[in-house]
């Protein structure tokens, strides 16, 4: 029997890479006859955690092949902004990808090529070779509604940049989105990143299918809009979250040891993703607000100075804070085992940056959120989580994103002790239950997954 393969081409950053790898694991678990090949491009920035993660996955999942592309010289005039690099590096690698796909095709029948949206440049390569090409949108269905609507926004704004507008976008499937909530990389239509996003949105609409890290019952209105529109097939195969390969055994982690000593649902967890770095002034405001709230807390603090590796918590937090709150809280530097913490019995709330992976982890664990968006599409996710899905509370912040101690104190109290907190807690517990049902035999996720993979397994 001729061998068959599915090629995955992620963006090599943890928030994009982990869901793509989990997708690869899921495909191979249910269809072991399919070879899973994950293409990795060298990234022009520090990728220590990414490299460690890939090494760990390779050791524990030998059936998944990571194909590392050779390093290429980056032209001296190459765009240096992060988003430009994210789109530009795959474009630089298109000739290499063409040869790579041909080489793989000589040994196996490629049933599908699955692209991250940052890997959009490869769309012209894979489709020119006649290969079924899908996009894996690592965020939710509501976010995909907005992403696919970008080409419409480009037309209806009449050559104006989003930064110059003060309007609500009426995007099918989601609440009205104010123009200021759009990702800042889309604010100026003359930038290279804006044009890349528009091109990607256009290509996604022409692909063989769109794969989404969500489940039907979480975003029903968005899914209905996607499937009623002129889009390719949409497959919801989530929640796909990290399944234990990101770190070594965490059972002895100080956070989990401390949580064991805390009452049930009493702790609010604050963590803002791998890129969630605050200035000292903001860290001090958070500290003051937490202390005034009177709530138990577990807080992950990243170094506010990226130029220095080591830092002292006493230097960045309010004077005497750690001593005064030692019976109520725990502050840790830089990293904590987030999935294990969210699933711990003692955790009753989550102050989050609204990254989609973190949001899904909270949903699966049944932990209500305070929405504190920082960058990328997170302001959009805040709207979905608060207004549409109703599993989070809105946090008041200034136009430049600063949050006062009073806002932290008030919102954390509302989440942990208030009526609004009780309502979102009931809602997210129901969504947690639905998430578990979705992935069971006959559940919505399992049905969509089988629809997605059937053409790859029919011989």
Starting at the edge strand found earlier in the chain, the sheet holding 369-371 runs: 329-333, 296-301, 267-271, 347-352, 369-371, 392-394
- pLDDT value, residue 73: 86
State both tokens at 44: 């022009």
Higher-pLDDT residue of 52, 214: 214
Mean pLDDT of 427-447: 98
- pLDDT value, residue 24: 97
> Is the predicted pLDDT of residue 1 greater than 50, yes or no?
no
- Dump pLDDT digits (tens) for 156-171: 998 899 999 999 999 9
**Residues 159, 147: Cα–Cα separation, whole Å:** 19
> Is the predicted pLDDT of residue 246 greater than 70, yes or no?
no
Mean pLDDT of 448-458: 95
Mean pLDDT of 300-314: 86
- pLDDT value, residue 308: 67
- pLDDT value, residue 309: 72
Nearest 5 degrees, angle CA 400-CA 406-CA 408?
A: 75
Higher-pLDDT residue of 86, 48: 86
- pLDDT value, residue 324: 98
> Is the predicted pLDDT of residue 118 greater than 80, yes or no?
yes
**Residues 250, 257: Cα–Cα separation, whole Å:** 10
Residue 379 near residue 181 (C-beta atoms within 8 A): yes
Least confident of 44-48, 95-99, 145-149: 44-48
Least confident of 266-275, 299-308, 325-334, 430-439: 299-308
Confidence of residue 307 (pLDDT cuts 50, 70, 90): low
- pLDDT value, residue 310: 83
- Dump pLDDT digits (tens) for 26-39: 999 999 999 999 99
Confidence of residue 434 (pLDDT cuts 50, 70, 90): very high
Mean pLDDT of 378-406: 97
- pLDDT value, residue 75: 83
> Is the predicted pLDDT of residue 367 greater than 90, yes or no?
yes
Confidence of residue 247 (pLDDT cuts 50, 70, 90): very low
> Is the predicted pLDDT of residue 249 greater than 80, yes or no?
no
Mean pLDDT of 76-89: 84
> Is the predicted pLDDT of residue 2 greater than 80, yes or no?
no
Domain with CATH 3.40.50.2000 in the chain: 4-238+439-457, 254-435
- pLDDT value, residue 46: 60
Please name the fold of domain 254-435.
Rossmann fold (3.40.50)
Mean pLDDT of 196-209: 98
State both tokens at 330: 């725990």
Nearest 5 degrees, angle CA 306-CA 409-CA 330?
A: 55
Mean pLDDT of 106-111: 96
> Is the predicted pLDDT of residue 298 greater than 90, yes or no?
yes
- Dump pLDDT digits (tens) for 176-198: 999 999 999 999 999 999 999 99
Please name the fold of domain 4-238+439-457.
Rossmann fold (3.40.50)
Q: What average pLDDT does the structure give for the chain?
A: 94
Query: Does the bond joining 239 to the residue before it have cis omega, within 30 degrees of 0?
Result: yes
């Amino acid at each position: 029997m001729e061998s068959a393969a599915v090629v995955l081409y992620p963006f090599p950053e943890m928030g994009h890479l982990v869901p793509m790898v989990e997708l690869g694991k899921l495909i191979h678990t249910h269809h072991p006859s399919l070879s899973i090949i994950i293409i990795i491009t060298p990234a022009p920035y520090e990728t220590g955690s990414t490299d460690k993660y890939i090494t760990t996955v390779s050791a524990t999942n030998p059936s998944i092949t990571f194909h590392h592309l050779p390093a290429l010289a980056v032209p001296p005039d190459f765009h240096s902004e992060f988003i430009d690099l994210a789109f530009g590096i795959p474009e630089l690698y298109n000739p290499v990808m063409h040869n790579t796909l041909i080489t793989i095709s000589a040994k196996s029948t490629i049933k599908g090529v699955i692209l991250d949206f940052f890997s959009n440049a490869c769309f012209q390569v894979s489709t020119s070779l006649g290969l079924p090409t899908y996009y894996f949108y690592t965020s939710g269905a509501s976010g995909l509604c907005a992403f696919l609507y970008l080409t419409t926004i480009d037309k209806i704004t009449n050559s104006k940049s989003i930064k110059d507008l003060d309007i609500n976008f009426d995007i099918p499937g989601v609440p009205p989105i104010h123009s200021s909530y759009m990702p800042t990389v889309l604010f100026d239509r003359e930038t290279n990143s804006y044009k890349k996003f528009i091109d990607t949105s256009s290509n996604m609409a022409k692909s063989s299918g769109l794969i989404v890290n969500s489940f039907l019952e979480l975003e029903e209105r968005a899914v209905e809009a996607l499937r009623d529109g002129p889009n390719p097939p949409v497959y919801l195969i989530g929640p796909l979250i990290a399944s234990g390969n990101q770190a070594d055994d965490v059972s002895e982690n100080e956070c989990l040891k401390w949580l064991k000593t805390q009452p049930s649902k009493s702790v609010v967890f604050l963590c803002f993703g791998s890129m969630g770095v605050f200035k000292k002034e903001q860290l001090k405001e958070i500290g003051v607000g937490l202390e005034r709230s009177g709530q138990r807390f577990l807080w992950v603090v990243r170094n506010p100075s990226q130029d220095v590796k080591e830092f002292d918590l006493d230097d960045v937090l309010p004077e005497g804070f750690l001593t005064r709150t030692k019976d109520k809280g725990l502050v840790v530097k830089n990293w904590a085992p987030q999935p294990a913490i969210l699933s711990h019995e003692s955790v009753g709330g989550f102050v989050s940056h609204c990254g989609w992976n973190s949001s899904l982890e909270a949903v699966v664990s049944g932990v209500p959120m305070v929405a504190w968006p920082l960058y990328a599409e997170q302001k959009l996710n805040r709207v979905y989580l608060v207004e549409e899905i109703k599993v989070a509370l809105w946090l008041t912040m200034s136009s430049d994103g600063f949050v006062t101690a009073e806002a932290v104190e008030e919102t954390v109290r509302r989440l942990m002790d208030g009526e609004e907190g009780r309502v979102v807690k009931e809602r997210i517990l129901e969504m947690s239950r639905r998430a578990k049902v979705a992935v069971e035999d006959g559940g919505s996720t399992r049905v969509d997954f089988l629809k997605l993979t059937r053409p790859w397994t029919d011989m």
